[in-house]
Amino acid sequence: MKKIYIAGSGGMLGDAFYHEFKNDYVLKCSDLDDSEQWITKLDFRNYNAYKNEVLEFNPDYLFHLGAHTDLEFCENNIEDTYNTNTLSVENAVLIANALDIPLLYISTAGIFDGSKDWFDDWDLPNPICHYARSKYAGEVYVQNNSKRYLILRAGWMMGGGPKKDKKFVSKIMKQLKAGKKELYVVNDKLGTPTYTCDFAKNTKLLLEKEIWGLYNLVCGGLTGRFEVAQEILNFFSLSEQINVKEVSSDFFKDEYFAPRPGSERLVNSKLNIRNFNIMRDWKVCLKDYLSSSYSDYLN
């Protein structure tokens, strides 16, 4: 069995990767958060510690997953953001090159500026906040310095369940759990949900086919925050009981002050052309996710 070192595996995506790959590969997973028994503690910002542990494991692939993804945190902690989201990626490239192995780097739809309704794999990024800028800088470094790599751009992540999900679905579910009868949801932010389980499966396909390069990797269908919230209520048959109010992003400007593009919708153009797109429609994935992770959450 081939071996994969997965750095930054403590979050929702790392959880999906672990469960997708564990039966077919020998894994070593690390993170600052080592609360799972299958995770060892490591700060990948520490180049020597990162390098020594990966070299000792001697993997066939290096997956670099972790990053600061809270946009407000990134705006307030700029040096930490670039150290974590950019310099650590340079660490990963140097280590992968030393072992002559492929590197997986996770990027984001947030690197685009929202100037178009949707973006394909060849549109030029123009990040408008420090989170996006730090992630795009990682993209550029990987492309310019890696021998073999996969750069996969994710959209609005959903996965991990109540324990690990810190994104939009979880925030809606927590409000429902708290008994809120009125939800305020923005109607001016467009994007593409990305189910972590599908993301991991499609990554595995690309890895095994050795189709290296940069790819958009999101669920099918274009949507917005408001429609996602409506679908969640529909799933739990709460549409008649919960009032969803459409608001503009200005409604949350104090809490969510980091600049965000009006549209960060992606389409998987390269995967479609190569016939390697196995990502399902976002509505199908949302139902799958809610039924598997939140079926008893509101009881």
Per-residue pLDDT of the chain (299 residues; tens, 9 = 90+): 999 999 999 999 999 999 999 999 999 999 998 889 999 999 999 999 999 999 999 999 999 999 999 999 999 999 999 999 999 999 999 999 999 999 999 999 999 999 999 999 999 999 999 999 999 999 999 999 999 999 999 999 999 999 999 999 999 999 999 999 999 999 999 999 999 999 999 999 999 999 999 999 999 998 999 999 999 999 999 999 999 999 999 999 999 999 999 999 999 999 999 999 999 999 999 999 999 999 999 98
Residue 140 half-sphere exposure toward CB, CA atoms < 13 A:
13
Domain assignment of residue 145, yes or no: yes
User: By C-alpha distance, which of 91, 116, 108, 132 is closest to 5?
Assistant: 91
Domain assignment of residue 186, yes or no: no
Token pair, residue 203, equals 């990554």
Distance between CA 239 and CA 228 in Å, rounded?
Answer: 12
Domain CATH for 40: 3.40.50.720
Tell me phi and psi for residue 223, to 5 degrees.
-150, -165
Domain assignment of residue 230, yes or no: no
pTM for the predicted model, two decimal places: 0.96
Domain assignment of residue 256, yes or no: no
Using the Cα atoms of residue 37, residue 292, residue 217 and residue 232 in order, give the sign of their dihedral.
negative
**Predicted local distance difference test score (pLDDT) of residue 299:** 87
Domain assignment of residue 29, yes or no: yes
**Predicted local distance difference test score (pLDDT) of residue 35:** 86
Distance between CA 246 and CA 248 in Å, rounded?
Answer: 7
Domain assignment of residue 41, yes or no: yes
User: How many domains does the chain contain in total?
Assistant: 1
Domain ranges, residue 105: 3-165+193-221+264-280
Using the Cα atoms of residue 73, residue 69, residue 264 and residue 227 in order, give the sign of their dihedral.
negative
**Predicted local distance difference test score (pLDDT) of residue 138:** 98
Distance between CA 206 and CA 258 in Å, rounded?
Answer: 33
3-state secondary structure of 43: coil
Distance between CA 110 and CA 126 in Å, rounded?
Answer: 9
Domain assignment of residue 239, yes or no: no
Distance between CA 160 and CA 237 in Å, rounded?
Answer: 23
**Predicted local distance difference test score (pLDDT) of residue 7:** 98
Domain assignment of residue 74, yes or no: yes
**Predicted local distance difference test score (pLDDT) of residue 13:** 97
Give the containing element (helix H, strand E) for 71. helix 71-76
